[in-house]
Structure 1
Amino acid sequence: VLTPEEREVGVILADIGGGTTDIAVFKDGSIYHTSIIPVAGYQVTSDISIGLGLPFEVAEAMKRKYGNVYPDVLTKSQESTLTVEDGHSVSYRELCEIIKARMEELLRLILLEMPDSNYASLAPAGLVLTGGTSNLTGLEALARQTIRIQTRIGEPMGVYGITDILHDPAHSTGVGLLLWGTRHQGKPAWEAKKRNGIFDGFMTLLKKFFGV
C-alpha cells in the first residue's frame, strides 16, 4: 500500500474498514504514531439507512453500488435518477449528500488524531486511504478539498500472478498479512517473531483463498 519513499519521508495511512478506521503515521521508515477512530463504513451505511428509511442491508447495497461523495458535480439526468435496490427507490443526490457528509467528518477526525498539527512537516507524502470504504467514487478529490493535503487511494503492492481483484483497496490488510508471512517464512527467531498457531492458521486460509 505504501512505497518505501512514503514511509521514509512521512505519510499518514488510514484503513477505512467496516466499524473502525485504523490510522498509522510512518516517519523515517518506522511507525511514528497509531490511532483508531470508531467511524467507518458501518456508520456510512447506518446514516443511509436512517436518512432514507431503508433496511440496513439495502442501504449497504446502495452504498456499494452507487456511492459517490461528489453530488455537486452530478448531471441533471443523474440528479433526477432514482436508484433501485430490492424494490426501494431513492434520490441519487440525497444518497450522495448523506455519504459525503459522513466522509467529510471522518477526514477531519483523521487529522484531529495527528500528534502534530504541522501536517506538511509530519507527513510530506500526504494521506493514503485504503480499505473497502475508500472505494467510494470521488473520495480522493473530496479529501484534497476538505483537509487540504495530498491524498491518494492505496492499493496492495507486490502481488503478482493472481487475480486483479487483490488490487482492490478492500483487500489491503489481508494481502499485507499474506505478504508479511511469506517474506518471513524460514527466518530465524531473532529476525522475525515466531508466529503462533492462530496466525499460522490464518495464513493457511489466506493462501487457500488467494490460490498461492
Structure 2
Amino acid sequence: MPTASPTPEWLRRRLRAAQALHHGATRREPAPGMRLGIDLGTSDVVSVVVAPDGEPVAVCLDWADVVRDGVVWNFFGAVEIVRRHLDALERRLGHRFAEASTSFPPGTDPRISVNVLEAAGLAVRGVIDEPSAVAALLGLEHAAVVDIGGGTTGIAIVEHGEVIYSADEATGGHHVSLTLSGRHGLPLDEVEILKRERGEEVWPVVRPVFEKMCDIVRRHLDRMPQGDLYLSGGSCSLPGVRELFAREFPAHRVHLPEPPIYLTPLAIACHAADDGAQGARHASHRP
C-alpha cells in the first residue's frame, strides 16, 4: 500500500496560521495587495485574507446553515454573514475590502455564490470550483482532489497541471450529522458540536457514511487508477477519515493536510491573490 508523504512545510505553516488567527492569535500586519476569499459552505462560512506571498493575515468563521447541497437556501442569512465578516475584517485590518473571490461545488451554478457576494457589496474578483482551487494551490501535476464539504463531495482530477475532470455528489458532512441526529435523538445544531468535540466517539457510527463517500469517489477515479489523492474539507477532520480512504484506495497515496477545514478557504483566497490566473487554467469537465 502506498504511504502518504508528509504535508509540505509551507502548507502546514499556512494552515496552522489560519487556525491560530481564527482562534484569536495576534494577526500579521496588513500589507498592500491583500486579497480576500470567501467559502460559502454548508456548515460554515469562512473568509480568509492572504498577503501577496499567500500567508494568512486574518480569518473569520461562522458556523451557519445557509447552504444545502450547493444551493443557498437562506440567501439573506448568507449575505448578512458576509457583511459581518467584512465589518470584522475592517476592524482588524483597517481596510474595507471591495472585492473577493469565491467558489462553488462542481456542476452547480457559480452565480449562486457570486450573487451572495455582490449583494453584500463586493465585486467578484474570481470564482472557481472548490477541488480545482485546492489543486491550483498545491500546484498538482498528476493527482486527484476530494473535497468533502458539508453538503457535497467534490472530485477533481489533474493531469499535467490541468484539471481535466471535475464532478460533485450530494453527500457530505450534513449527511453525517443526520445520521448522528437519528442515532442520538439530538437537534442538528447540537450534533455539529458533538462532531467537533467528540470525533473519536462518533466515528464508529458515521463510518458507513464515509464508506458511501468512498464508493462515490471510486466511480470517478477510474480516470486515475493510481497516484496521489488529496483530501480537503472540514468533514475530513473526524479521526479515521484518512485511514479509511487509504484502505479503500490502496493504489493511491492519500494525503490529508491538517487542519483540513481551512484548506479550501485558503485556496480560494490564494486564487484571488493570483488574479484568477491559476483558476482560469483549470477548465471543469463534468459528466
TM-score interval, normalised by the smaller of the two chains: 0.5 to 0.7
Match of 2:254 in 1: 151
Aligned to 1:59, the other structure's residue is in SS state helix
Q: What is the deviation of 1:192?
A: 8.8
2:184 maps to what in 1?
A: 52
Task: Determine if the alignment matches structure 1 residue 179 to structure 2 residue 260.
Answer: no
The 2-side partners of 1:180 and 1:98 are apart by: 37
**Which structure has the highest helix share of the two?**
1
Q: Secondary structure at the match of 1:14?
A: strand
Q: 8 Å contact 1:67–1:99 — kept in the other structure?
A: no
TM-score (norm: length of structure 2): 0.46
Give 1:101 deviation, angstroms: 1.1
SS in 1 for 2:166: strand
* Equivalent AA in structure 2 for residue 178 of structure 1: A
Q: Is the 8 A contact 2:203 2:238 kept in 1?
A: no
For the Cα contact (< 8 Å) 1:144–1:150, is it kept in 2? yes
Q: Label 1:141 to 1:181 Cα distance change in 2 as closer, same or farther (>3 A).
A: same
Find the residue that maps to 2:186 and give its secondary structure. coil
Any idea what SS the aligned residue of 2:175 has? helix
Residue of structure 1 equivalent to 2:220:
113
Q: Tell me the equivalent position of 2:167.
A: 35
Measured at CA, do residues 100 and 177 of structure 1 come closer, stay the same or move farther in structure 2, by a change above 3 Å? same
Residue correspondence of structure 1 range 61-140 to structure 2 within 5 A: 61-68=193-200, 92=201, 95-116=202-223, 119-120=225-226, 124-125=227-228, 127-140=229-242
Letter in 2 for 1:110: V
Q: Could you tell me which amino acid in structure 2 is paired with residue 58 of structure 1? A: E
Residue identity matched to 1:66: R
Q: Distance in 2 between matches of 1:59 and 1:180?
A: 33
- 8 Å contact kept, 1:33–1:115: no
Work out whether residues 24 and 34 of structure 1, in 8 Å CA contact, stay in contact via their aligned partners in 2: yes
SS at match of 1:184: coil
Residue-by-residue CA offset, 1:54-89 (whole Å, 9 max, x unaligned): 221121111111123xxxxxxxxxxxxxxxxxxxxx
Partner of 2:75: none
Give the counterpart letter for 2:230 in structure 1. Answer: V
Deviation at 1:115, TM superposition (A): 4.8
**Residue in 1 aligned with 2:149?**
17
How high is the TM-score relative to the length of structure 1?
Answer: 0.61
Aligned position for 1:78: none
Bigger Rg over Cα: 1
Secondary structure of the structure 1 residue equivalent to 2:151: coil
Whichever residue aligns with residue 194 of structure 2, its letter is M
CA distance in 1, matches of 2:263, 2:196: 17
Residue identity opposite 1:137 in structure 2: P
How many residues align? The count is: 144
Conserved 8 A contact 2:146-2:153: yes
Q: Which has the higher contact order (CA 8 A, sep 6+)?
A: 2
Cα gap change, 1:27 to 1:192, in 2 (>3 Å): closer
Following TM superposition, the consecutive aligned residue runs of length 4 or more in structure 1 with deviations greater than 4 angstroms are none
Q: Percent identity?
A: 23
RMSD: 2.3
